[in-house]
Amino acid sequence: MNKSSGLAIGLGSVAIDIIGKVDALPKEDGFCMVTEQQALDGGSCANVMTQIARLGAPSALVARIGDDDSGRKIRKGLEHYNINTAWLMTKQGGTSLTTHIFVDPIGAKTIALYMGDSLMTVSLNDLDLSFLDHCKVLYTDLFPPHTAVAVAKAAKARDIPVVFNMQVGWPLMEAFGANRSLIGEMLEYSAVFAPCRSAAFDLAGTDEPNECIRKLRADFNYQGIIILTLGTEGSLIEHDGRLVKIPAYQVDAVDTTGAGDSYIGAFLYAYYFAGFDPETAGRFSAAAAALTCMRVGARSTPSLEEVNSFNKWR
């Protein structure tokens, strides 16, 4: 396949999200009342691929699920969103990733992960890297870490751009087997680095956004695009020596789950498929994230028509 018309391929997390609406997020030793609960498709990497597909570009997922009920729902959900599952593996007798998400009345959330025994077992030996022949851009959230780095290395050797999105905090990434050396290697292969606020601040050792970006570049000698998402404070995009502030568009939020995934999925679409410059891609992405917050569930991502109708980003 010609890479100009190839796939956005994601290597990383896919899950079932059990979302409970609560009267208030529980504090330590505290209680909350769940007023409504539902099981929806989720997983950061799969959410990103869904946003890309919703915007009209072809996407695929490389991951492993269990053959449990959650795994069957996951596969059905991916197919529903027209995500290519040719490289989705199933572990016999395995348990799929499940996330438990509690959302308060203003859309703030707490997330607990039940990892299962399937997702993190993907090794380089399990993969036929010929899927890179179909790849226009490779995306990963570093699940599992060592395998993701190895695939990113292979992608860069084929001149395929790699987008690395670290969407969980540093202590959790360390628990999954990552370390600063591995992050440094991953950044050698990455054209775009898009950490969430907590992960970036932990890595850089500072909670001042501009200083955080400066430290990330200096500490890792990173030369690519940096996207730092800051929730309601918007996002920062630094590229080619230029730092751009992208606003967070105000909407009536009901659930912020998946907003960061929607942002980076929309950025991949806008930058690699639509040919937007980074700043325009950032505004487009902020619009997609805002629209995602107006509905429940991480896959409540907007279509291209919906984003284009959201005039605030233009």
Q: What per-residue confidence (pLDDT) applies to 1? A: 39
* 250 is a domain residue: yes
Which residues does the chain have with pLDDT short of 70?
1-5
Give a yes or no: residue 30 inside a domain: no
Residues contacting 242, CB < 8 A, separation 6+: none
Give residue 2's pLDDT. 43
The pLDDT of residue 51: 98
Q: Is residue 36 part of a domain?
A: no
Question: CA of 71: how far to CAs of 45, 116, 165, in Å?
Answer: 15, 11, 24
The tens digit of pLDDT for each residue in 56-93 reads: 999 999 999 999 999 999 999 999 999 999 999 999 99
Q: Is 282 domain-assigned?
A: yes
| Amino acid 80: pLDDT | 96
Q: What are phi and psi of 76, to 5 degrees?
A: -65, -40
C-alpha 190: how far from chain center? 15
Q: Is residue 186 a part of any domain in this protein?
A: yes
For residue 62, being part of any structural domain is answered with: yes
Can you state the angle between helices 69-80 and 44-54, rounded to 10 degrees?
A: 20
Q: Are 97 and 74 in contact (CB under 8 A)?
A: no
Sign of CA dihedral 71, 77, 80, 83: negative
Question: Residue 301: which of 271, 268, 279 has the closest Cα?
Answer: 268
pLDDT tens-place string over residues 155-180: 999 999 999 999 888 999 999 999 99
Q: Are strands 225-229 and 192-193 parallel, antiparallel or unpaired?
A: parallel
- Strand 225-229 to 15-22 pairing: unpaired
**Degrees to nearest 5, angle at CA 16 with 58 and 115:** 110
pLDDT of residue 5: 67
What is the number of structural domains in the chain? 1
Domain region containing 143: 3-14+43-95+119-313
| 16, burial (CB in 10 Å: exposed 0-12, middle 13-18, buried 19+) | buried
In a domain, 242, yes or no: yes
Give the tokens for residue 230.
Answer: 């800051």
> Amino acid identity of 59?
S
Structural tokens at position 77: 């959900």
What span, in angstroms and rounded, lies between the C-alpha atoms of 26 and 272?
Answer: 41
| The residue to which tokens 């000698």 are assigned | 221
Whole-number Å distance between alpha carbons of 114 and 303: 30
Rounded distance, CA 287 to CA 306, Å? 9
CATH of the domain at 240: 3.40.1190.20
Pairing label, strands 242-246, 235-239:
antiparallel
* pTM for the predicted model, two decimal places: 0.94
52 belongs to a structural domain: yes
Amino acid residing at 188: E
How far apart, in whole angstroms, are the C-alpha atoms of residue 22 and residue 34?
4
